[in-house]
Amino acid sequence: MKKLYTPYKINQCELKNRMIMAPMSIGNTEEGFVPDSTIEFYRRRAKGGVGLIIFANMQWDKVRYNPHHGALLTDEKFIPQLKKLTDAVHEGGSKIFAQLMNRGRYAYQRSIQGEQAVAPSAIPSKFTHFEMPRELTVDEIHDFVKWQADAAAIAKKAGFDGIEIQTNSGYLYGQFWSPVTNHRTDEYGGSLENRNRFMMETLAAMREAVGPDFPIALRISGSDYIPGGCTGDDIVEICEILDNSGYVDGFSITAGWHESDVPLITMEVPHATYAYLGRQIKAKVKAPVAMGMRMNLQKAEELTERGDFDAIVMGRLFLTDPEAANKAMAGHPETARPCVGCNALCLDNVMANQPAYCIGNYECNREVELCDADGKLPTEVKSAHPEKILVIGAGPAGMEFARVASLRGHKVTIWEKRDRTIGLSMYAATPPRRYDIRYLGQWLERMCRAQGVEIILNKAATPEDIIAASKDYDRVVMACGSKAFVPPIPTETGANIVLAWDVLEGTANLGRNVVVVGGGDVGVETAMYIGEIGTLTADQLRFMMIYGPEPDEKLHELLNKGVHNVSVVEMGPKFAKDINPGSRWSIMARCRQLGLNMMKETKVLEIKKNGVLVENEDGQQLLPADTVVMAAGAKPYDDLYQAVKDKVAKVDLIGDTVKVGRIPDAIASAYTLAASI
C-alpha cells in the first residue's frame, strides 16, 4: 500500500490516511451557526474516505465578525450545531479540525459589522481596495490571545479533534510576521522575536485551555511572495522557533498572500510547484509537515512515497469528487473526477461571499437540495421508466447527460461528428497553461465508456439520420454546441480571415502581423496562444538555465517575445470579461508580458487585404494584418433541432444548443435534464 493511504498521527489524534481536506469556505452561515446543508456536504466528504477535514475560517473575534460567512466560536451557544457537524464527520469515518482565523487588514469594514478592520499597523491593502485598518492596541492583542484560547476550548467541547491556526495567505498572524505590514515599535514589532510574540502567547494560552494531548497545528505560507515580505528563509526560521516551543503539533504549508503577483492555485501553476517551500521547512522541524497548493492524487502519492512530506492537503479535489479518497485507496485514482484549477465557482464564489460550487460537479454543495426523502442523490437512484436515448454531440453537455442518465438506468448512445470527444471545450484547453480544462472531458469519456454508453465518433448527424434513428429510441437529446458568429464587417477581397477556433485547432496559416477581432475570453486566449508561438518552451528554458548560454535578461526576453505581432480589438470597455476573476488577472498579465497590442473601446470599420481599419477616441488607424482572426462570439447551433423538432416524439436541448454559455452551464443543464428523466 502506498504511504499516502497509511495511518498518520498528529499529537494523539490518529488519522486513517494522509489525505487532508483543505480548509475551504463552502457555504454561508446563519447568524454564525453552521447550516444543515454544510453538515451534509461534509458528511459525504467524510464518507468519501479522507483522513482529516479542516473546517475553515471559524471566527473568534467578538467584535469584528461576519455572522453570514464563517462559523462563530465566540459563545458556547454554538456548540450543539457544531456537534452535529463533528458527529457527522466522525460517523463518516474522518477526523475534523477547527480552523481559527482572523483576516486582519484583509477584512472589509462592511463585512465585519461595520467595524474598522484591525492589524499590526495601520497599513492598507490593495486586496481591500485600500481600506484603512486601525493598529491594534496592546490590550486588544491580549484580548485576542484570550479569545482564541476560549475559542479552542469551545471547539474541543463541540467535538473537534484538533485546532488549526490560519496564518497563511496574508491573514492576521502573517501580517504580524511581515516587515511590510508590521511597523510597530513596541514588544510586538521590530525583531523577529517581537513579531512572533503574539503567536507564541496565543499558543501558550491555547495549550493551557485544551491540554497537552489536543492537537494544535499551523497553516503557514512558506513564502509571502510580496516585495519586502517574509521570504522562504524567514518562514523556515519562524517555523523552527515555533517547533522548538513544543506547542505546535504540525505544520500545513501553502504559498503566497492574496496580494501576491504570482499565480498560486490556478491551472497554469504546474502541480506541486511550491513543494520546495514545504521541503525546506520539513528539513528544519520535528513536527510533521503536510503540503498543499495545487496538488493532485499522482503528486500526493509521489511526494509522500518519497518522504518529502508526512501528509498532503488537497481541497478542490474533494469539492469535485467527494469519493476521491476511496477511489484512490481502492487503486483507481483515474476514476476520481478531476479538478481543473479554474476557481470559477469555488474560490471566486467564496471571495464574493457566495456558496462554493464546482464547474464539473453539479451536486457539489447542493446535496440537501438534490437528495430525495431517503437521502439519495439522483445519480444514486434508478429511474422508474428507463429509456433508450440518442445524444447528438460528445462535448461536456452530451457526455455529462449520458453519464448521469446511464447511472439512472437509461441506455445511451452518443453520435459525435468529430474524431474525438470533448467538443468545443478542446479550444478552451488549447491556449498556454489551460490544458487542465480537457481533464474534465477526458474523465467524462472514461466514465461514459465504463458505464456502457456507446460513443460513435465520425458520425455526422443529418436530420434524415435522426428522424430515421428516432424510431429505435425513446428520446433524442441535442447537445450540438455552438457555431461562430461572424459580424457583417465590410471586407476587401483577398483579406485573409480565419476563425479563432481554426487557430486553436491548428488549421490556420498565420502571417507575421495578426489582428484578433473580439476581446472576449476566446479572443484574448487565442491572442495569448498566438503571442506565445516562438517563445522559449519549458524544456528549452531549463536547458539554458542549467548551461548558461545566455544571461538571465536575455532568457526573460526570449520567454516573452514570440514571432507574431498581435493586436486585439474590442468594442467594449473590458477585455475577457467572461473569464472568472480568479483566472482572468493572470491571463491579462501574461498578455501584457507578451507585448500584445490591446485596444479596447475600439470599433472595426473595415477589413482590408493588408490591415484592419479601426476607430476609437484617438481617431482612425490601419492596423497591419497578414491574418485577421475572428473571435466575435458564438450562437447556438440548433439547426438540427429546428429540422427535426416536429418529426421526433421526444427531443430535448442542452448546453450551448439552448444558450451559449460556459462549461458549468453545460454541465448544469445536462445534469438537471438527466436527473428528471
Give the end-to-end CA distance of the chain in Å, rounded to a whole number.
41
Q: Which residues of 216-237 are buried (b: 16+ CB within 10 A; e: fewer)?
A: bbbbbbbbbbbeebbebebbbe
CATH 3.20.20.70 in the chain: give the residue spans.
3-370
Q: Residues 255-288: pLDDT tens digits?
A: 999 999 999 999 999 999 999 999 999 999 999 9
DSSP codes joined into one string, 270-301: PTTTTHHHHHHHHTT-SS-EEE-SS--HHHHH
CATH for 3-370?
3.20.20.70
Contact between 640 and 646 (Cβ < 8 Å): no
Domain 497-632 of CATH type 1.10.580.10: no
Radius of gyration of the chain from its Cα atoms, rounded to whole angstroms: 27
Q: Which of 18, 9, 21, 33 is nearest to 158 (CA)?
A: 33
Dist CA 598 CA 356 (whole Å): 33
Secondary structure of residue 459 in the 3-state scheme: coil
pLDDT at 372 over 90: yes
Q: Residues 607-650: pLDDT tens digits?
A: 999 999 999 999 999 999 999 999 999 999 999 999 999 999 99
Contact between 478 and 393 (Cβ < 8 Å): yes
Q: Count how many Cα atoms sit within 13 Å of the Cα of residue 405 in the half-sphere of its side chain.
A: 30
CATH 3.50.50.60 in the chain: give the residue spans.
497-632
Contact between 511 and 578 (Cβ < 8 Å): no
At 262 the pLDDT is 94
**Cell matching residue 357:** 460550487
178 contact partners, CB below 8 Å, separation of at least 6: 195, 224, 226, 229, 230
Beta strands in 299-438 (DSSP E): 311-314, 388-392, 411-415
At 351 the pLDDT is 87
Confidence class for position 296, pLDDT limits 50, 70, 90: very high
At 146 the pLDDT is 98
Question: Taking CA 160 as the corner, what is the angle to CA 208 and CA 96, rounded to the nearest 5 degrees?
Answer: 130
| pTM of the model as a whole | 0.95
pLDDT at 374 over 90: yes
Residue showing cell 440518442:
390
Confidence class for position 18, pLDDT limits 50, 70, 90: very high
Mean pLDDT over each residue of the chain, to the nearest integer: 96
Q: Residues 91-123: pLDDT tens digits?
A: 999 999 999 999 999 999 999 999 999 999 999
Residues 335-350 have a mean pLDDT of 94
Percent with pLDDT over 90 in the chain:
97
At 536 the pLDDT is 96
Length of the chain: 677
At 84 the pLDDT is 98
Instruction: Give the sign of the dihedral formed by CA 448, CA 453, CA 454, CA 460.
Output: negative
Angle between helix axes 79-91 and 138-157 (nearest 10 degrees) is 50
Domain 381-484+636-676 belongs to what architecture?
Answer: 3-Layer(aba) Sandwich (3.40)
pLDDT at 186 over 90: yes
State the SS3 of 122-170. Answer: CCCCHHHCCCCCEECCHHHHHHHHHHHHHHHHHHHHCCCCEEEEECCEC
Confidence class for position 353, pLDDT limits 50, 70, 90: confident
Q: Residues 491-527: pLDDT tens digits?
A: 999 999 999 999 999 999 999 999 999 999 999 999 9
Instruction: Give the sign of the dihedral formed by CA 258, CA 254, CA 663, CA 350.
Output: negative
Contact between 21 and 318 (Cβ < 8 Å): yes
Q: Which residues of 193-207 are buried (b: 16+ CB within 10 A; e: fewer)?
A: ebbbbbbebbbebbb
Confidence class for position 23, pLDDT limits 50, 70, 90: very high
Secondary structure of residue 340 in the 3-state scheme: coil
Number of alpha helices (DSSP H) and beta strands (DSSP E) in the chain = 24, 27
Dist CA 155 CA 379 (whole Å): 35
At 211 the pLDDT is 98
